[in-house]
Chains A and B, each alone.
Chain A
Amino acid sequence: QVQLQESGPGLVKPSQTLSLTCTVSGDSISSGNSSWSWIRQPAVKGLEWIGRFYTTGSTDTDYNPSLKSRVTMSLDTSTNRFSLSLSSVTDADTAVYYCARAPLGTFIDSWGQGTLVTVSS
C-alpha cells in the first residue's frame, strides 16, 4: 500500500521560497505507472492543484497555469522523493499542502496527510 508523507518548514517569510518534500513508500516514483502531484488548500477554501510530474521514458511536468511562473517540481529517484518549490510567496500561499498519486490517466487514489505552511514575517 502506497504511503506519502510531506515534510518541510511550517513557516516561510513573504517573498521567500517555499520548499516541501514528499517521501513515497510502497511505490516507485520512477515506475512510469503514475503521476505525482502537489495540491494545496487554503483554510476554509477549496482544493487547488499545483502541478504534477510523470515519468514515461522522460520526466514530464504539468503546472497550474496560474502558478506556473513560480513553481518548480523535482524528483530524486534514489530516495523516492519529490519536491515542490514555490517562489516569491505571499499571504495567499498560506495553505495545507498535499502530495498525491494518480495512476496514469486516472483519479488521485492516494494522498499524504498534508502539511500546513504559513507565510508570515
Chain B
Amino acid sequence: DIQMTQSPSTLSASVGERVTITCRASQSIRRWLAWYQQKPGKAPKVLISSASILESGVPSRFSGSGSGTEFTLTISSLQPDDFATYYCQQYNTYSPVTFGQGTKLEIK
C-alpha cells in the first residue's frame, strides 16, 4: 500500500499568516493527490485535486503543489474560517485509497 505522511500534525498560526502543510507518499503517485478540509461534526470537503487544481468555490488563498512523492498545501493569508483539520489523500487507481493522518490548524 501507499502510505501518506503529513506534517506537521498540529499547526498554530494567526489570522493573516501564510502556512504550509506537507504530505509525502511512500512511492510515486504522480499528481493523484487531493487535499480536504474538515470541520468538527462535518464531512470533509475537497479543496484541491490533481495536486494543484483548485476546486470550484474554493478561495484562491488556497494552493497546492508537488508531484511524485512530495506535496504541499499552502494558505496564503489565514482567515478565521480556515481553522480546521486538513487531510491529503492519494487516489492512484491501482492502489487502495489512503489518507494522511491529518493536520489540525489552530489559532495561535
Give residues in A with beta carbon < 8 Å to B.
37, 46-49, 52, 62-65, 98, 102, 104-109, 111-114
Contacts and interface: CB of A to CB of B under 8 A. Distances in A.
Contacts of B89: 47, 107-108
Interface of A is mostly: loop
A46 B99 contact: yes
Interface string B69-87: 0000000000000000001
Contact of B96 (A62, A104, A108, A114): A62
Nearest to B98: A49
A52 B97 CA distance: 9
Contacts of B23: none
A108 to B, nearest CB: 7
A106 B46 CA distance: 12
Contacts, number: 49
A111 B102 contact: no
Contacts of A109: 46
Contacts of B46: 107-109
Contacts of B102: 46-47
A105 B44 contact: no
The residue among B93, B97, B99, B100 with the most chain A CB atoms within 10 A of its own CB is B97
A47 B100 CA distance: 8
B49 interface: yes
Given A46-B87, A108-B89, A65 B99 contact: no
A107 B49 contact: yes
Contacts of B36: 108
Contacts of B34: 107-108
B57 to A, nearest CB: 12
